Amino acid sequence: MTEPLFIDSPMEEIRLTQTVQKGGCAAKLAAAELRRLLQKVNFPPAPADLLIDGRNFDDASVQRLTPDLALVSTLDFFTPIVDSPRAFGAIAATNALSDVYAMGGQPITALGILAFPVATLPDQVLVEVMQGACDQLKLAGVSLSGGHSIDDDTLKFGLSVSGLVHPEKIWSNAGARDGDVLILTKALGTGTISAAMKRNALSEKIDEQAQVMRTAIASMCQLNDAVRPLEAAGLREAVHAATDITGFGFAGHAWNLAKSSGVRLLIDAGSLPVLPGALQCLRDGFLTKAHRSNKSYVSEHFEATGLDPITELLMMDPQTSGGLLLSVAADRAERVLQVLRPQFAVAAQVGRVQAHTEPKLVIRA
């Protein structure tokens, strides 16, 4: 993973994180609240060729176009999680693209969604945000084909992304199988690190603090394209289920996978990769509202013995542009890791799947 070159901003006096109350995926509606509200909505009937919709909180919808081709559709946007406008645009784009990768697809086009406070931010901020996004889209081989913007009180940016996948090669969060090995591609901790920066305990500019921020930003800008290397190695079918780890935290998204697949996930907490500085930020109390709502979301389905409070907070930490959680056939898990590590240096086995009548997260300290 290479360090992004766009962290430093020519507009040093502007701190985007101070213009909003919540940043990145920590601004998501709480998972339990979202489920409760959506249950009150009468959705239109789904066509037979809609293969995946929102009922399992999958990362994107998938609609069959032909026997050999399906369309992956997703939408993601949020408020600034970092101060650099260009880095913010790059992170927002990477995060939106991740939903297509999590379904086993390849993104092809994107539309921009922008809310911009014309009265309070200079035009160059808009230019930098868009350029950061376009840099990542170019890296992914995706075109920006249009979009929509409004004048709003706070800056928000994201993308609606379309991708393609073979209907029989979809990765969803409902396919985990007994005995599978769980692999996580990125380190955890972006939520607490960004909270520390917002509260002036970390800076992108101060030398002794900058490396923590730079490592976190580099992770959030790492494209989650695990499909290409695995397909090239003949290992695509070794992945039985997948999801990306974002605002509901590792525990929330892992629970969605367990529930949708009807299995238990046995998590080895000591194997979870962690961003430098994240544990100290948690110890220092740099938390978000999402830490509480994520814990509430999984509390009835979360079984842990001897788990220290800081590691539990890490599992609830709301990630922005986090890694993929892959459920992989056990006999090919080591080979999958070997193929992924040149791109995802910290990728690790973090647990396994167990068939059970009661879906649950079982955490081993």
Q: Does the residue 8 lie in any domain?
A: no
Same domain, 108 and 190: no
On whether both 199 and 305 belong to a single domain, the answer is: yes
For the domain that residue 249 is a member of, what is the CATH number?
3.90.650.10
> Given a cut of 60, is residue 3 above it in pLDDT?
no
Q: Are residues 208 and 299 in the same domain?
A: yes
**Which range (54-68, 101-115, 270-284, 300-314) has the least confidence?**
54-68
* pTM of the predicted protein model: 0.92
Co-location of 128 and 202 in the same domain: no
What is the structure's pLDDT at 208?
65
Residue 205: predicted pLDDT: 66
Q: How many domains does the chain have?
A: 2
Residues 126 and 219 in one domain: no
Band the pLDDT of 11: cuts 50, 70, 90. Answer: low
Say what the pLDDT of residue 211 is: 87
221 is catalytic: no
- In angstroms, rounded to a whole number, what is the distance separating the alpha carbons of residues 260 and 359? 9
Domain hosting 277: range is: 181-364
Q: Provide the pLDDT for residue 206.
A: 65
The band of 182, judged by pLDDT with boundaries at 50, 70 and 90, is very high
In a domain, 173, yes or no: no
Could you write out the three-class secondary structure of 149-218?
A: EEECCCCEEEEEEEEEECCCCCCCCCCCCCCCEEEECCCECHHHHHHHHHCCCCCCCCHHHHHHHHHHHH
pLDDT digits (tens, 9 = 90+) for 116-170: 999 999 999 999 999 999 999 999 999 999 999 999 999 999 999 999 999 999 9
What pLDDT is recorded for position 320?
95
| Last-in-domain residue among 140, 165, 190 | 165
Which of 105, 137, 165 is the C-terminal boundary of a domain?
Answer: 165
For residues 41, 253, 282, 193, the Cα torsion angle rounded to the nearest 10 degrees is -80
Residue 204 is predicted with a pLDDT of 66
Last residue of a domain, one of 106, 141, 165: 165
5 is a domain residue: no
The confidence band for 12, taking pLDDT boundaries of 50, 70 and 90, is low
Quote the percentage of the chain above a pLDDT of 90: 79
Contacts of 62 (CB under 8 A, 6+ apart): 50, 51, 52, 70, 71, 72, 73, 103, 105, 165, 167, 170, 172
pLDDT per position as a tens digit, 201-225:
887 666 667 889 999 999 999 999 9
Claim to verify: residue 354 and residue 216 sit in the same structural domain: yes
**In 3D, which of 113, 157, 155, 161 has the Cα closest to residue 137?**
161
Is 2 a domain residue? no
CATH number assigned to the domain comprising residue 111: 3.30.1330.10
Clarify whether residues 217 and 155 are in a common domain.
no
346 lies in some domain? yes
Query: What was the pLDDT predicted at 170?
Result: 97
Judge whether 219 lies within some domain. Answer: yes
Shared-domain flag, residues 340 and 203: yes
Tell me, yes or no, whether 265 and 125 share the same domain. no
Residue 55 within any structural domain of the chain = yes
Q: Which of 25, 134, 221, 281 is catalytic?
A: 25
What is the mean pLDDT of the segment spanning 254-271? 96
Same domain? For 233 and 105 the reply is no
- Same domain membership, residue 341 and residue 264: yes
Q: Are residues 297 and 231 in the same domain?
A: yes
Whether residue 184 has pLDDT greater than 90: yes
Confidence of residue 23 (pLDDT cuts 50, 70, 90): low
Angle at 80 between CA 275 and CA 345, to 5 degrees: 25
Examine residue 176 and state whether it is found in any structural domain, yes or no.
Answer: no
Residue 4 has pLDDT above 50, yes or no: no
